[in-house]
Amino acid sequence: MSKQIKVALIGNPNTGKTSVFNALTGLKQKVGNYPGVTVDKKEGICKLSRGVKAYILDLPGTYSLNASSVDENVVIELLLNKNDKDFPDVAVVVTDVENLKRNLLLFTQIKDLKIPTILVINMSDVMSRKGISLDIPALEAQLQTKIALVSTRKNKGIALLKSLIEDYKSLAITACIDTSSIDSAYFERLQKAFPNQDVYKLWLVITQDVNFGTVARRTLDVSKFQTKSITELKRLQQKEAIKRYQFINGVLKVGQVIDRTKAKDLRSKLDRVLTHKVGGYFIFFAILLLIFQAIYDWATVPMDLIDTTFASLAEWIKKALPNGGMLTDLLAEGIVSGIGGVVIFIPQIAFLFLFISILEESGYMSRVVFLMDRIMRRFGISGKSVVPLISGTACAIPAVMATRNIENWKERLITILVIPFTTCAARLPVYLIIIALVIPEGHFLGFNYQALTLMLLYLIGFAMAILSAYVLDRVMKTERKTFFVVEMPNYKFPLLKNVAITVIEKTKTFVLEAGKIILAISIILWVMASFGPGEKFNNAEAIVSQESPDILEVDLQDKIAAYRLEHSYIGIVGKTIEPLIKPLGYDWKIGIGLVASFAAREVFVGTLATIYSVGSASENEGIDTIKTKMSNERYSDGSKVFTFASGISLLLFYAFAMQCMSTLAIVKRETKSWKWPIIQLFSMSIIAYLFALVAFQILK
Q: Is 695 exposed, middle or buried (0-12, 13-18, 19+ CB in 10 A)?
A: buried
Q: How confident is the model over 484-539, as pLDDT tens digits? A: 666 677 777 887 888 888 888 777 776 776 667 667 777 777 777 778 887 777 77
| Average confidence (pLDDT) over 87-101 | 91
Under DSSP, the state recorded for 567 is: T
pLDDT band at 248 (very low <50, low <70, confident <90, very high): very high
| Average confidence (pLDDT) over 531-555 | 73
Comparing 43-47, 173-177, 259-263, 650-654, the range with the smallest average pLDDT is 259-263
The span from the CA of 336 to the CA of 333, in Å, is 6
DSSP 163-210: HHHHTGGGS----SS-GGGGSHHHHHHHHHHSTTS-HHHHHHHHHHHH
How confident is the model at residue 658, as a pLDDT? 84
CB 164, CB 146: distance < 8 Å:
yes
Longest dimension (CA), the chain: 103
The span from the CA of 115 to the CA of 173, in Å, is 6
* Most confident among 238-247, 250-259, 548-557, 669-678 (mean pLDDT): 238-247
| Average confidence (pLDDT) over 543-551 | 72
**Which residue, 374, 472, 460, 451, is CA-closest to 421?**
460
The span from the CA of 171 to the CA of 509, in Å, is 38
Q: How far is CA 211 from the centre of its chain?
A: 28
Q: What is the number of other CB atoms lying within 10 angstroms of the CB of residue 629?
A: 18
Backbone angles phi and psi of 699, in degrees to 5: -90, -20
SS (H, E, C) 284-353: HHHHHHHHHHHHHHHHHHHHHHHHHHHHHHHHHHHHHCCCCCHHHHHHHHHHHHHHHHHHCCHHHHHHHH
How confident is the model at residue 621, as a pLDDT? 38
pLDDT band at 218 (very low <50, low <70, confident <90, very high): very low
CB 304, CB 296: distance < 8 Å:
no
Measured in residues, the chain has a length of 700
CB neighbour list of residue 36: distance below 8 Å, 6 or more residues apart: 216
Under DSSP, the state recorded for 59 is: P
Statement: the pTM of the whole predicted model exceeds 0.85: no
CB 119, CB 10: distance < 8 Å:
no
How confident is the model at residue 524, as a pLDDT? 78
The span from the CA of 7 to the CA of 59, in Å, is 10
Backbone angles phi and psi of 389, in degrees to 5: -65, -40
CB neighbour list of residue 456: distance below 8 Å, 6 or more residues apart: none
Q: 657 pLDDT exceeds 80?
A: yes
pLDDT band at 341 (very low <50, low <70, confident <90, very high): low
Comparing 221-225, 650-654, 668-672, 676-680, the range with the smallest average pLDDT is 221-225
Give the pairing of strands 117-122 and 132-134. unpaired
**Which residue, 690, 62, 684, is CA-closest to 416?**
684
How confident is the model at residue 485, as a pLDDT? 63
Comparing 348-357, 413-422, 533-542, 610-619, the range with the smallest average pLDDT is 610-619
What are the structural domains of the chain? 3-262 (3.40.50.300), 514-699 (no CATH)
Residue 46: strand, helix, or coil: strand
SS (H, E, C) 475-535: HHCCCCCCCCCCCCCCCCCCCHHHHHHHHHHHHHHHHHHHHHHHHHHHHHHHHHHHCCCHH
**Which residue, 121, 166, 152, is CA-closest to 139?**
121
Q: Is 486 exposed, middle or buried (0-12, 13-18, 19+ CB in 10 A)?
A: middle
| 117-122: strand order across its sheet | 29-33, 40-47, 52-58, 3-11, 90-96, 117-122, 146-149
Q: Is 247 exposed, middle or buried (0-12, 13-18, 19+ CB in 10 A)?
A: middle
How confident is the model at residue 356, as a pLDDT? 78
CB 97, CB 123: distance < 8 Å:
yes
Q: Is the dihedral of CA 243, 244, 245, 247 positive or negative?
A: positive
In this prediction, what percent of the chain has a pLDDT beyond 70?
82
The span from the CA of 593 to the CA of 586, in Å, is 10
| Average confidence (pLDDT) over 174-182 | 89
The span from the CA of 565 to the CA of 578, in Å, is 15
How confident is the model at residue 605, as a pLDDT? 74
Backbone angles phi and psi of 440, in degrees to 5: -70, 160
How many degrees, rounded to 5, is the angle at CA 306 between CA 300 and CA 307? 85
**Which residue, 387, 390, 415, is CA-closest to 476?**
415
Q: 76 pLDDT exceeds 80?
A: yes
Beta bridge partners of 121: 95, 149
The span from the CA of 447 to the CA of 293, in Å, is 7
Q: How confident is the model over 443-490, as pLDDT tens digits? A: 777 778 888 888 899 889 988 998 998 888 888 765 555 556 666 777
* Most confident among 571-575, 631-635, 666-670 (mean pLDDT): 571-575
The span from the CA of 85 to the CA of 95, in Å, is 26
